[in-house]
A and B are shown apart, each in its own frame.
Chain A
Amino acid sequence: MNHLSVLIIIGIIAMMILAFGLIVFVIMYQRRIIAHHLELKKVNAQKELELVQASIQSEEDERMRIASELHDDVGATLASARLFLYKDKNSQFDEKIINQSKELLDESITKIRNISHKLQPATLQHLGLELSLQALIETLDKSDTLMATHIILQPLPRVADNVELAVYRVSQEIIANILKHAKAMSVTLETGVSDAGITILFTHDGSGLTQELYEMQIYKKGSTGLKNIVNRLKSINATIQFYVDDSYFFRALITIPFASTSKSEPI
């Protein structure tokens, strides 16, 4: 074998090594880009979550401010007016008009108190999620629109304020939806703790949502209530599942993983 033949063999091998090298370089470079893409996606998701949390937080702050204004300012003013009217019982004013005014004032004070309570539930902050849900269900049961029951499977532990508030708001939204759309005769709320986390299960005998329908609805225009549910649950990494059980009862199961329930720094 002469020198040129050896050179030819070396040349062929060198060219093939170069070709392999090029392929390996392209693959490695692309892997780096994939890693970069994933990192970017993660950062974007984190930012999105922070935005959602910030928007919910600002909404809650605003609600709290309005609630305080209603309770402390407008409510107090109306209560004072009521006091004056009761005081003037024996004056020369027409008794009928005074009584009507009193009734109107009483009604206004009750309404304001209710609005204030709905905007910022005091029980939630002081007594926790379980008792707040209990109070919500009792109010619903007293309203005579449907029969409402609360079953405590396991006592709920106290969790971070934002988690409790989000779950409470979602529960309010679900109950509002049941009242508005389901035409249900009864609703049951079961609260408990499982391996997956804290579970809250709504069951009603009206017409409701399935998971498929829910996923279709949240992408539709409107459906603000459902979108609020999605955003609030997303902000605490919780999930919701809609399904129909064997007895044709519609169910909505909220699962809050333990990882999301720890107290976190406010944004």
Chain B
Amino acid sequence: MKRVLHVNYDWASNLFVLVEFFFLSFYYRDKIFRNKTVFYTVLATLSTFFVVQTLRADKSIWHFNTYGSCVFCLTYIIYCILGMYALLKEQKVIFLDRSPLFWVNVGFILYSSGSFLLFLFKIYLQETDMDLLRTLWTAFFLPCNILKNIALAIGLRKKNAL
């Protein structure tokens, strides 16, 4: 779309990543954060980092903030590990597939682990090996993104999903 219409949608991507981070953090708030202060500190620090990082770049919001996304991916991995730990510790559900949290964890841990290094080295690969970036994007990022969306859909279909 970007190539065909020559329109830059990176600002929307940045906004999407930030909003996704907010939604996901609030989803995990009651599940893994015992202390609300810690939650708001993490939320404020990481979102501020992302915003500053985005605005500081050469093309500002018109350029996709890969480092910020990379930090968010790492945060999601931590969220998911803590989410899995909470599931095993609390033992509220006997069958994991009935738990929406399990599916959200599965979706985001697969997506984040597949995207983390890709976001981290995206700029480097763009400059050195564009073909490899395209291949990795198709082989890892897109399937992981699809898996994440499928897992989220399954999770949202469960009772007490939110």
CA distance A26 to B86 in the complex (A): 11
Q: What string of 1s and 0s marks CB contacts (under 8 Å) between B98-129 and chain A?
A: 00001000100110111011100100110011
Judge whether B88 and A29 touch: CB under 8 Å: yes
Judge whether B113 and A19 touch: CB under 8 Å: yes
A residues near B95, Cβ cutoff 8 Å = 30, 34
> Nearest-CB distance from A19 to chain B (Å)?
4
Instruction: Return the chain A residue nearest B116 by Cβ.
Output: A15
CA distance A33 to B90 in the complex (A): 12
Judge whether A11 and B117 touch: CB under 8 Å: yes
Q: What string of 1s and 0s marks CB contacts (under 8 Å) between A26-37 and chain B?
A: 110110011001
Count A-B pairs with CB separation below 8 Å.
Answer: 64
A residues near B109, Cβ cutoff 8 Å = 19, 22-23
SS class of chain A's interface: helix, strand, loop or mixed? Answer: helix
Instruction: Return the chain B residue nearest A37 by Cβ.
Output: B94
B residues near A30, Cβ cutoff 8 Å = 87-88, 94-96
A residues near B117, Cβ cutoff 8 Å = 8, 11-12, 15
Q: Which of A8, A29, A34 contacts B136 (CB 8 A)?
A: A8
Which A residues from 1 to 16 make CB contacts under 8 A with B? 1-2, 4-5, 8-9, 11-12, 15-16
Judge whether A18 and B121 touch: CB under 8 Å: no
Judge whether A2 and B128 touch: CB under 8 Å: yes
Count contacts on B: residues with CB < 8 A to the other chain: 28
Chain A contact residues (Cβ within 8 angstroms of B): what range? 20 to 34
> Nearest-CB distance from A248 to chain B (Å)?
43
Q: Does B91 contact A (CB under 8 A)?
A: yes
> Nearest-CB distance from A106 to chain B (Å)?
66
- Given A22-B81, A27-B96, A34-B94, A16 and B110 contact (CB-CB distance below 8 Å): yes
Judge whether B113 and A9 touch: CB under 8 Å: no
CA distance A20 to B84 in the complex (A): 13
Q: Does B33 contact A (CB under 8 A)?
A: no
Q: Does B11 contact A (CB under 8 A)?
A: no
B residues near A23, Cβ cutoff 8 Å = 84, 106, 109-110
CA distance A1 to B133 in the complex (A): 11
Judge whether B110 and A9 touch: CB under 8 Å: no
CA distance A19 to B143 in the complex (A): 15
Q: Does B140 contact A (CB under 8 A)?
A: yes
> Nearest-CB distance from A25 to chain B (Å)?
9
Which B residues from 31 to 63 make CB contacts under 8 A with A? none
> Nearest-CB distance from A240 to chain B (Å)?
31
Residues of A within 8 A of B (CB): 1-2, 4-5, 8-9, 11-12, 15-16, 18-20, 22-23, 26-27, 29-30, 33-34, 37
A-B contact pairs, 10 of them (CB 8 A): A8-B136, A11-B117, A12-B140, A19-B114, A23-B109, A26-B84, A26-B102, A30-B95, A33-B91, A34-B94
Q: Add 11 more A-B contacts to A8-B121, A9-B136 (CB < 8 A).
A: A5-B128, A8-B136, A12-B118, A15-B117, A16-B140, A20-B110, A23-B110, A26-B87, A30-B87, A30-B96, A34-B95
